[in-house]
Amino acid sequence: MSEIVVGLSYRTAPIAFLERAALTAGAARELETRLVRSDHVAEAVVLSTCNRLEVYAQVSKFHGAVDDVGGALAAATGVPLAELTEHLYVHYEAAAVSHLFAVACGLESMAVGEQQILGQVRSALRGAQQGGSVGRVLGGLLQRALHVGKRAHTETGLDLAGRSLVRAGLDRADAVLGRLADAEVLVVGAGTMSGLVVATLQRAGAGHITIANRTPERALRLAAPVGARTVGMAELPAALAAADLVVSCTGSVGHVVGAGLVAAASAARAHRPQVYVDLALPRDVDPLAGGVPGVEIVDLDRLGQELAGTPGGVDVEADITRARAIVAQEVADYLTAQRAEAVAPTVVALRASARAVVEAELGRLESRVGDLDPAVRAELERTVHRVVEKLLHTPTVRVKQLAGEPGGDAYAAALRELFDLDTVAGNPLAATPSAPNSLATPLATPLAAPLARAAGGVG
């Protein structure tokens, strides 16, 4: 079994396409269930965020798994497979582990270094655990990724390097409206992202915050700590007209704030400047609303363009370099541990074979000389076992050490061959499929050509 990542992100697809491929939490769980019922996928976790859709899986066959995942993604998103694969990338084994760790650190985020991705990885893992699509191996890998992400933020200044999407959006609003402390702010939605928005607004000194949500209890829970007021969605038109800044992040399918609503609100305000920061995918605010006089819309597509090339500066680059070094070290440590664990069945089989030989020879001795005195037999057993243990100690210790090195599985294979050990059923190495770490060469699968093109520029 091996790790594989198949996905698309803002690096390989425009925001409009990511919007088409976006999945709700429920749809992500359904996709995971479908995947683990397929022929070549044993475990699966779907990570669906505002700028990526990725499947992490433990697979038995590389080519078959790529086809399984591609077909399942097309079915789940409703995007034709031929169109979808133009934007997909694939990472395998070491490259898959490296990609996941980099994602958890925020190194692959639109806003480099943002920490929200840690919560998203944690939520994806928890959802997969509840749905039963993830087991010990992939679950352990994602837990390790969370550790790596926390370590990168603790040991480097990556937090300072990353301008979050929220902060970037608010910076743009501040440039148009002036001091946020004097602005009327409306937050539409009361989920995790909205909580981040409200906290950031409070730190920025915004004193007039209103939260609109379909569920009053969730809105109140978010509003109470910061003294914000709440409104129901029925009151949204009036709340829009009163707001200088609207931040929307509901995660709903379809536009929550239509162009007509925006036009009516702008007219009621006599077209005074108004900024809409749309952090949702699919988009909450109808893009046509950007043509309303006095209205400026800042969505994920625009934020991505504005964040391109940032962060910059020597210190920031040094922090990113240190974070990538942490990822490289953690990947090496993880793979070393996996290789050492993979050789364990060979060591167990070798010792079991030795014990069987000892027992057989002691039985043969007794059949020749008759019943042995119990004390004599016990001493013979101890002596023979000591001899066997001393003979096996060095090779078993060395094969564990060597297994941690690249190509170390060859030593375990040599032991299996030399001692005729039958460990195929329990040995992960015996079933490891062969494939490149990242798709860069043609493969015998319908997805090969477009995936190879996409994989070339994805880290």
| Shared domain check, 169 and 54 | no
Range of the domain at 451: 2-162+438-455
Q: Dump pLDDT digits (tens) for 176-201.
A: 998 888 899 999 998 877 888 898 89
276/415: higher pLDDT? 276
Q: What CA–CA distances, in Å, run from 271 to 184, 242, 407?
A: 15, 12, 68
Question: Using an 8 Å Cβ cutoff, are 311 and 163 in contact?
Answer: yes
Mean pLDDT of the chain: 84
| Shared domain check, 278 and 173 | yes
In this structure, is residue 295 part of a structural domain?
yes
Residue-by-residue DSSP string for 183-220? SEEEEE--SHHHHHHHHHHHHTT--EEEEE-SSHHHHH
In this structure, is residue 325 part of a structural domain?
no
Q: How many domains does the chain have?
A: 3
Alpha carbons 11 and 110: distance in angstroms, whole number? 8
CATH number of residue 275's parent domain: 3.40.50.720
| Shared domain check, 268 and 171 | yes
| Shared domain check, 448 and 386 | no
List the catalytic residues: 50
Question: Using an 8 Å Cβ cutoff, are 395 and 415 in contact?
Answer: yes
| Shared domain check, 347 and 276 | no
| Shared domain check, 266 and 142 | no
Choosing from 291, 307, 323, the residue where a domain stops is 307
In this structure, is residue 365 part of a structural domain?
yes
In this structure, is residue 131 part of a structural domain?
yes
| Shared domain check, 289 and 417 | no
Most distant CA atoms of the chain, gap in Å: 111
| Shared domain check, 138 and 7 | yes
Percent helix, strand, coil in the chain (nearest 5)?
60, 15, 25
| Shared domain check, 78 and 199 | no
Alpha carbons 458 and 453: distance in angstroms, whole number? 10
Alpha carbons 422 and 427: distance in angstroms, whole number? 9
Alpha carbons 265 and 333: distance in angstroms, whole number? 56
Average pLDDT over residues 352-357: 83
Return the pLDDT at 172. Answer: 87
pLDDT reading at 418 higher than 80: no
In this structure, is residue 312 part of a structural domain?
no
| Shared domain check, 254 and 205 | yes
In this structure, is residue 318 part of a structural domain?
no
Q: Dump pLDDT digits (tens) for 290-335.
A: 999 999 999 888 887 776 655 544 356 788 889 999 999 999 999 8
| Shared domain check, 176 and 153 | no
443/328: higher pLDDT? 328
In this structure, is residue 320 part of a structural domain?
no
| Shared domain check, 208 and 132 | no
343 pLDDT band (50/70/90 cuts)? confident
pLDDT reading at 455 higher than 70: no
In this structure, is residue 324 part of a structural domain?
no
